[in-house]
């Protein structure tokens, strides 16, 4: 199959959620150096919630993210560094600082219905000479027509690529196909796909996206990401090679990075447990997982009940404060019933 698939490795950003944003300079430098040697095209490095994400609401970083970015930039000569920015969390100044350090790609992320808030950030990134990606999060929450409309906005602002982002790991393969096909028909730029594995569909959904024409794909080594993690990069490369699709990435070296380096950083294996499964089932933002578990312990309620209620309320990224509110309400109900 003659397709060129370009991989962005997200373990040093999305994986930050899984370890409570506790990456150190040494860890980032070691992983980035090894990914560079494996010839991974793009490596994303920021707080899990993007530039400027270190805060009380989202979780404080152990290390200033600009130092982490500097560490990664200093050890790569093949891979290009990428950052994520959510308008309203990250700022234009953050973007300029990252560019000055040596970041080559800016991924500007909004809720799937709020692409209009990405305009100045996409335009700034383009003016800084960065490759620019529009990142439409929680893509399961909008009908296909709305997704197309929002993607076209990002294209009009100058995005080189627009991603369908399955932030909750809630999309089914037929829904992925429908969305990628629609964007492929309507846009002149690259289409990307970012999966989460909460329903054990990350790999299947990623392959469905590729078959429909997505050429920019996110993976996370050792499945290190929010919720049950993302499409596992080393497995994806093996599958693509079996399909005759070349990525230019050294599979053996990637396996070694996973086994010898990243496995030692994981606090616990990235498995689909009752909480991460509930994320996908309820359609809730994957990065809510740790917040919900902590709130459940604090208020003595079931974390699944918190996640199901958040799903009913259609809570989205940026509304993390609602997790505690919901847990408190459920606790009061429990006391009343009891």
- Residues acting as catalytic residues: 17
Q: How far apart are CA 196 and CA 230, in angstroms?
A: 4
DSSP one-letter code for 22: -
E-strand stretches of the chain: 6-9, 42-44, 80-85, 105-111, 131-137, 161-165, 190-194, 216-219
Tokens (6 digits) for 251:
């599979």
* Number of residues assigned to the chain: 338
Q: For residue 13, say whether it is annotated as part of any ligand binding site.
A: yes
Given a contact cutoff of 8 angstroms between Cβ atoms, the answer to whether 72 and 81 are in contact is yes
Q: How far apart are CA 170 and CA 66, in angstroms?
A: 32
Is the Cα dihedral 39, 41, 46, 48 positive or negative?
A: negative
Q: For residue 274, say whether it is annotated as part of any ligand binding site.
A: no
Quick count: other Cβ atoms within 10 Å of Cβ 70? 18
Strand partners, 80: 42
Q: For residue 196, say whether it is annotated as part of any ligand binding site.
A: yes
In the chain, count H helices and then E strands: 14, 8
Q: For residue 21, say whether it is annotated as part of any ligand binding site.
A: no
Q: For residue 167, say whether it is annotated as part of any ligand binding site.
A: yes
Q: How far apart are CA 228 and CA 276, in angstroms?
A: 6
C-alpha gyration radius of the chain: 19
Q: For residue 321, say whether it is annotated as part of any ligand binding site.
A: no
Binding-site positions for substrate read 13-14, 167, 194, 285
Binding-site positions for Mn(2+) read 14, 194, 196
Binding-site positions read 13-14, 167, 194, 196, 285
């Amino acid at each position: 199959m003659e397709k060129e698939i370009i991989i962005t490795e997200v373990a040093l950003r999305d994986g930050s959620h899984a370890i409570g944003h506790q990456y150190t300079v040494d860890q980032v430098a070691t992983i980035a150096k090894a990914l560079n040697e494996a010839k991974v095209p793009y490596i994303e490095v920021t707080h899990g919630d993007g530039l400027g994400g270190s805060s009380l609401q989202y979780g404080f970083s152990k290390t200033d993210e600009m130092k982490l970015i500097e560490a990664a930039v200093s050890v790569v000569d093949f891979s290009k560094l990428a950052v994520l920015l959510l308008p309203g969390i990250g700022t234009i100044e953050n973007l300029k600082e990252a560019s000055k350090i040596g970041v080559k790609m800016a991924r500007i992320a909004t809720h799937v219905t709020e692409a209009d808030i990405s305009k100045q950030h996409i335009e700034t990134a383009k003016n800084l000479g960065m490759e620019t990606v529009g990142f439409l999060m929680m893509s399961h929450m909008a009908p296909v027509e709305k997704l197309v409309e929002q993607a076209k906005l990002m294209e009009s602002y100058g995005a080189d690529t627009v991603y369908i982002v399955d932030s909750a790991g809630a999309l089914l393969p037929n829904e992925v196909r429908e969305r990628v096909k629609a964007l492929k028909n309507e846009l002149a730029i690259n289409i990307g796909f970012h999966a989460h594995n909460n329903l054990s569909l990350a790999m299947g959904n990623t392959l469905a996206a590729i078959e429909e024409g997505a050429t920019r794909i996110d993976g996370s080594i050792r499945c290190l990401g929010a919720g049950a993690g993302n499409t596992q990069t080393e497995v994806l490369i093996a599958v693509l090679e079996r399909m005759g699709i070349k990525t230019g990435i050294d599979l053996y070296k990637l396996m070694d990075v996973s086994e010898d380096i990243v496995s030692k950083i994981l606090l616990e294996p990235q498995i689909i447990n009752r909480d991460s499964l509930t994320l996908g089932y309820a359609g809730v933002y994957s990065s809510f997982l740790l917040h919900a578990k902590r709130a459940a312990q604090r208020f003595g309620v079931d974390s699944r009940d918190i996640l199901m209620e958040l799903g009913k309320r259609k809570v989205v990224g940026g509304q993390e404060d609602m997790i505690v509110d919901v847990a408190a309400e459920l606790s009061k109900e429990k006391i009343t019933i009891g």
